[in-house]
Amino acid sequence: MKRYWPIITGILLYIFLTGATVLMSFPLFWMISSSLKTLEETNSPGIIWIPKQIIWDAYIQIFQNQDFMRSYFNSVFYVTLAMTGTLLSIAAVSYAFSRVEWPGRNIVFFLMLSTLMIPPQALIVPQYVFFNKLHWIGTFNPIIIPGYFAGGAAMIFLLRQAMAQIPKELDESAFVDGANHIQIWWLVVMPLVKAPLATVATFLFVGFWNSLLTPLMYLQTVDLYTLPVYITTLFNINNTVQQWPTIMTAAVLTTVPLIIVFFFTQRYILESVAVSGLKG
Amino acid sequence: MPENPYINALATTLTAVIFIIACCYGLGSLARWIAKVCGASLKKQTNTFAGYFFAAPWIVGFLIFVIVPLTFSLYWSFTDYRVTSKDPANWVGLENYVNLLLNDDSFRASVINTLYLTIIGLPLQMGMALFLAVMLNQKMRGERIFRMAFYLPVILGFNTAVLLCWRLMLNTGTGIINQLIRGISNAIAPFEYANRSAIFIQEIITAFFLGLNTGKYNLLHKVFEAGFPAANRVPLWVQSPLWSKMSVVLLMIWGCGAMMLIFLAGLNNIPKELHEAAEVDGASGWQRFWKISFPLLTPYIFYNLVVGLILSLQIFEPIFVLYRDNQPLVSSTISMVYYLWQKSFSHFEIGYGSAISWVILVIIFIVSLIQFKLQDRWVTYDLY
């Protein structure tokens, strides 16, 4: 009997972990299932795991919904622009902190790390007034432009650590060959940190795509709403009946890009979360 | 400025890029000139230029988006500034802070709600994270898939779309969660009693916290008067002030993947020899966990506790999606950031909002400082 003990515990462990996985991904399943139901089915008192008759009406409706499609485009537009600038500026700043020796580097680096302690929300009030003075309320500018100034100390730290691990000899030989710093940054260092760049890009993408507070504050009109803001307007507490199939269809279409991106980059992400900041 | 919002955004972005590049050259040249005056070597001059050139985006951004706003908000926090009114701001001294800390019921509610999330929610979340981490630490095949599945909720986490799905699942009458609870309760008697006891305990604790908030314990009396919940009772997730915070806790438990990864890293760092030696001495798996793994994990537990506390101060999305416009419930779940948003952008009280920002800033600063002080013992940053 004792011989079989490891096998039995192994099987039990797999059963438990599979059960936990099912529970953890249940909201996703329920989201998809509800999007294919009729309104009556979403409010029915019995459990309908998978609708007997799959109804695509909600999908057809949402693709014809101008506001939804526009907010989808807005999200893609703003995330693309904001991500490009943030990623490039973070890469430049990380280069300065890892590959160049300059007076004042340690002080500036310490200052940058200390901004980790400032919650971004503590800055939203004065920033709002500042953007108001610039007449930027009701435009995409306040949610795009700050990223171009290397927003995100944690991301800089992550990328800097990766760049610092590249051997110094590489730059030196490039210098001898007559390359300047910009060429070394773009042609020597950047290709060597592709994996950390992918990690940072994913974190940035998830952050921008999910962001609710700042778009909510600055966008103001339906024409400019990004997906997270638009979706909250679909759910109105004053309605007695919520259009759940429509809401869940919009939800499925919003989560799909997140899942795709996570699926392709999870290898880097899972490792970097475990090492960042914590070394035992 | 062009009317089309997309062209406007592109044009402004282009302007910003030109501005940043100009700043890079400006700052770099200035630094090189200073280095030259100080008599540095040519190589050092080049490096100084390159360093400031590449770091300029952050330095300029730090000044524009951090230092200047912080200075202004510190000033405004002592005034009655409103963005809508044309009158200049009046200096009111410490009035905002005194009102906020002593007389403001909503702010007190937000502090107590954070306390609830810290005392009730965080241990549940960390317990779940630790449990999953220990289960995953058995080094078996397919571990990566499970790890991925447990981390996915963190990515989806606070997306409003996913939160709305939770809103559907948490519906008191027809939501899937309550239906499952009802179904299992009817089928299995012990589960029914467990469910009823859990409801009773949860309602007593929440009623106590709500009592702390108002100073009157009416609700607690009511819960006791109602006595042990009836056989067909289910949790009133997003309907009752007694359950509104528990719904947020449920979301926290669901998103425990990030903490789990930290615990996994901690478990990996425990030397194998310790467990092997204990096994030779005849210690059971249970004993080994409590006597070896758990004590060695305390730094990681503390780290998660601090990070979790800071995050719970900043919760915004779940409250906005689940309880916005739901007046009876907002005060029972409000977080500090939600309150800041409400004051500053529904009522446009910039002066008062600035005071709230500074209080949040100071609280988080103190918490982080404690963390940095204590983490010297276990974290090594290889900075230089």
The answer to whether residue A6 neighbours chain B at the CB level (below 8 Å) is no
- Tens of pLDDT along B202-223? 999 999 998 888 778 888 888 8
Helix (H) / strand (E) element for B227: namely: none
Shortest alpha-carbon distance between residue A7 and chain B (Å): 12
Residues in chain A, pLDDT under 50: 277-280
Q: Which residues pair with B91 in a beta bridge?
A: B79
**pLDDT given for residue B88 in this prediction:** 73
Nearest CB among B13, B157, B266 relative to A145 is that of: B13
**pLDDT given for residue A276 in this prediction:** 52
Distance between CA atoms of residues A277 and A157, nearest Å: 9
- Tens of pLDDT along B219-278? 888 888 888 888 778 888 888 888 999 999 999 999 999 899 889 888 888 888 888 888
For A48, B16, B243, B284, the CA distances from B61, given in Å and listed in that order, are 52, 11, 42, 56
| SS3 state at B191 | helix
The per-residue DSSP string of B61-121 comes to HHIIIIIHHHHHHHHHTTB---SS--SPPPB-TTHHHHIIIII-HHHHHHHHHHHHIIIII
Give Cβ neighbours of residue B153 (< 8 Å, ≥ 6 apart). Answer: A24, A27, B254, B255, B256, B257
**Contact state of A278 with B350 under an 8 Å Cβ cutoff:** no
List of chain A residues whose C-beta atoms are within 8 Å of the C-beta of residue B354: 125-126
Average per-residue pLDDT in chain B? 87
**pLDDT given for residue B383 in this prediction:** 30
**Contact state of A251 with B165 under an 8 Å Cβ cutoff:** yes
- Among chain A residues, the shortest Cα distance to B353 is held by A125
Nearest CB among B16, B48, B325 relative to A103 is that of: B48
- Tens of pLDDT along B124-149? 999 999 999 998 887 778 888 898 99
The answer to whether residue A30 neighbours chain B at the CB level (below 8 Å) is yes
Shortest alpha-carbon distance between residue A179 and chain B (Å): 13
Distance between CA atoms of residues A203 and A258, nearest Å: 11
pTM higher than 0.80 for the full model?
yes
- H-state helical runs in A100-212: 105-114, 124-133, 141-144, 153-164, 169-176, 181-183, 190-192, 194-210
Q: Which residues pair with B79 in a beta bridge?
A: B91
**pLDDT given for residue A275 in this prediction:** 58
Give Cβ neighbours of residue B22 (< 8 Å, ≥ 6 apart). Answer: none
- The backbone torsions φ and ψ at residue B222, rounded to the nearest 5 degrees and listed phi first, read -60, -40
**Contact state of A123 with B8 under an 8 Å Cβ cutoff:** no
Preferred mutation among B125, B165, B349, B352 to probe A, highest tally of A CBs within 10 A: B165
Q: What number of residues does chain B have? A: 384
Shortest alpha-carbon distance between residue A102 and chain B (Å): 5
Percent pLDDT > 90 in chain B is: 36
**Contact state of B174 with A45 under an 8 Å Cβ cutoff:** yes
The answer to whether residue A214 neighbours chain B at the CB level (below 8 Å) is no
Neighbours of A207 (CB within 10 A): 17
| Tokens at B258, concatenated | 């990030």
Average pLDDT score over residue span B178-206: 90
| Tokens at A213, concatenated | 């507070």
- Among chain B residues, the shortest Cα distance to A113 is held by B383
- Name the residue with tokens 């910009």: A182
Percent pLDDT > 70 in chain B is: 96
Average pLDDT score over residue span B112-135: 91
Nearest CB among A47, A119, A244 relative to B360 is that of: A119
**Contact state of B344 with A125 under an 8 Å Cβ cutoff:** yes
**Contact state of B58 with A25 under an 8 Å Cβ cutoff:** no
The answer to whether residue B176 neighbours chain A at the CB level (below 8 Å) is yes
- H-state helical runs in A36-148: 39-42, 57-64, 66-99, 105-114, 124-133, 141-144
Shortest alpha-carbon distance between residue B246 and chain A (Å): 17
Closest by Cα among A248, A228, A207, A196 to A39: A248
**Contact state of B380 with A279 under an 8 Å Cβ cutoff:** yes
**Contact state of A123 with B354 under an 8 Å Cβ cutoff:** no
Neighbours of B123 (CB within 10 A): 13
Q: What angle do CA B306, B312, B314 make, to 5 degrees?
A: 110
**Contact state of B69 with A254 under an 8 Å Cβ cutoff:** no
**pLDDT given for residue B1 in this prediction:** 53
Distance between CA atoms of residues B160 and A50, nearest Å: 24
Give Cβ neighbours of residue A208 (< 8 Å, ≥ 6 apart). Answer: A78, A79, A82, A83, A147
Q: Taking the alpha carbons of B35, B41, B45, B48 in that order, is the dihedral positive or negative?
A: negative
Nearest CB among A115, A217, A228 relative to B66 is that of: A115
Distance between CA atoms of residues A279 and B173, nearest Å: 48
Neighbours of A65 (CB within 10 A): 17
List of chain A residues whose C-beta atoms are within 8 Å of the C-beta of residue B69: 123, 126-127, 130
Could you tell me the pLDDT band of residue B376, with boundaries at 50, 70 and 90? low
Shortest alpha-carbon distance between residue B304 and chain A (Å): 11
What is this model's ipTM? Answer: 0.90
The answer to whether residue A17 neighbours chain B at the CB level (below 8 Å) is yes
- H-state helical runs in chain B: 5-37, 42-62, 68-76, 95-98, 105-116, 122-136, 143-156, 160-169, 176-187, 189-214, 218-226, 244-254, 257-268, 272-280, 285-288, 294-313, 317-323, 327-333, 336-341, 350-375
- Tens of pLDDT along B24-44? 999 999 999 999 999 888 889
Q: Which residue has the higher pLDDT, B306 or A249?
A: A249
Preferred mutation among A62, A95, A102, A113 to probe B, highest tally of B CBs within 10 A: A102
- Tens of pLDDT along A182-235? 999 999 999 999 888 998 999 999 999 999 999 998 998 889 999 999 999 888
Distance between CA atoms of residues A215 and A85, nearest Å: 18
